[in-house]
Amino acid sequence: MTDVVYRAITVTPIADALGAEISGVDLASDLPEETVAEIRRAWLEHLVVFFRDQALGLDEFLGFARRIGNPVEYPFVKGVDGYPEIIAVAKLPDETVNFGGIWHSDTVYLERPPMASMLIAREVPPVGGDTMFANMYAAYEALSPGMQRLLDGLVAVNSSAMADVSKTREDRRRDSGDVDDREFVAEHPVVRTHPETGRKALYVNVAHTQRFVDMTEDESRPLLQFLFDHSIRPEFTCRFQWRVGSLALWDNRCAMHNPINDYHGHTRILHRITLEGDVPR
């Protein structure tokens, strides 16, 4: 990481691989352009940034999101009343499966996957419920030159119907009254180049990536499994412990995440906004 000087905010890394806490800023206020620019610079440098003790109502949460990008509706879960771009990510005491509880990048089965996502915690369990993040730049850069050359020429098929996550999504869809049963499928490069930083990142994940283009699932599985395991090696990750009022903003183009499902019998409720992205290249 480079030594970046910040004047409007304080940036404190939480791990060597990725992740930093930003302090000295009230996201509910009318942020100066310089402050927004520094937040965005820290986010691009650290891939995921966290804010503590933010008292944001839905209007303020949406307002901050609009300073970073363009909020869009999530295809499978209905938004909260009056705010179609904000969804509730909830697990209740009687539930055993959490929302999106597997390593993934958000909705890579769309032609234009999101640039970023942000979550703010409304209610958290007394212990547990952390979220892990993985640096997909680092995962790519740690591969051998020969493996990098092989992957640079591959395209992956990504589907919304992968079994490991569909059960949770289907449950949420029924609960929300959304009966859209379409399967979304998109082909994206296995290695994508970040449109802002110019760096290369692995862009496959166990939740959505089915196979390589022009290969069968059986043929694709060994290499994909290697990449899935490789990309979440401990040295590529960080872990964030939520508190009420904590907000996370991550770069979906170069980071994966995994909400840990270790708090059965307790409630965990967060609000999420997804920010519009581009076509991976």
Active site residues: 104, 106, 257, 272
- Contact predicate 133/256, CB 8 Å: yes
Closest alpha carbon to 175 in 48, 90, 266: 90
Run of H or E residues at 58: helix 58-68
Local structure of 21: helix, strand or coil: strand
User: Phi and psi (nearest 5°) for 210?
Assistant: -90, -45
Burial of 53 (0-12, 13-18, 19+ CB in 10 A): exposed
Strands 48-51 and 20-23: parallel
Distances (CA, A) of 203 to 152, 194, 196, 221: 11, 11, 16, 15
